[in-house]
A = this chain, B = another copy of it.
Amino acid sequence: MPEVTQLAEFSLIQRIAKRFGELRNQTLVGIGDDCAITQPNSKNLQLITTDLLVEGVHFNRHFTNSRDIGYKAMVANLSDIAAMGGTPLQFLTSIAIPPSFTRKDVDALYEGIMKPAKASGVALIGGDTSSSPKKLFLSLTLIGKVKPSHVIHRTGLQVGDEIFVTGTLGDSNAGLRILKTPPHKHIPRASLTWLSQRHLRPTARLRAGQLLAKHKIATAMIDLSDGLSGDLARICELNSVGATVNITHLPISKALCTYAHYIGKQAYKIALQGGEDYELLFTVRPESLPRIKRWKTQGLLDATHIGTITPKRKGIQIITPAGLLQPMRIKSYDHFQRRQH
Contacts and interface: CB of A to CB of B under 8 A. Distances in A.
B40 A46 contact: yes
A198 interface: no
Contacts of A133: 54-57, 134-135
Nearest to A17: B124
Nearest to A135: B133
B4 A141 contact: no
Contacts of A24: 121, 123
A121 B131 CA distance: 31
A40 B132 CA distance: 34
Question: This chain: how many copies in the complex?
Answer: 2
A43 to B, nearest CB: 8
A94 B141 contact: yes
A125 interface: yes
User: Mostly helix, strand, loop or mixed at chain A's interface?
Assistant: mixed
A31 B114 CA distance: 15
Given A3-B102, A31-B126, A44 B40 contact: yes
Contacts of A51: 94, 128
A90 B38 contact: yes
A194 interface: no
Contact of A1 (B104, B110, B145): B104
Contacts of A50: 92-94, 126-128, 139, 141
Interface stretch (A6-14, A148-156, A311-319): A6-14
A43 B43 CA distance: 13
Contacts of A10: 103
B52 A94 contact: yes
B55 A4 contact: no
A328 interface: no
Nearest to A96: B54
Contact of A96 (B5, B52, B130): B52
Given A30-B124, A110-B20, A126-B31, A131 B5 contact: yes
A129 interface: yes
B54 A102 contact: no
A27 B53 CA distance: 26
Contacts of A93: 50
Interface of A: 1-5, 7, 10, 12-13, 16, 19-27, 29-31, 35-36, 38, 40-41, 43-44, 46, 48-58, 89-90, 92-107, 110, 113-114, 121-135, 137, 139, 141, 143, 145, 336-341
Task: Please give me the 10 A-B residue pairs with the lowest Cβ-Cβ distance, nearest first.
Answer: A41-B41, A36-B126, A94-B139, A36-B125, A25-B89, A1-B102, A56-B133, A52-B128, A40-B40, A22-B123
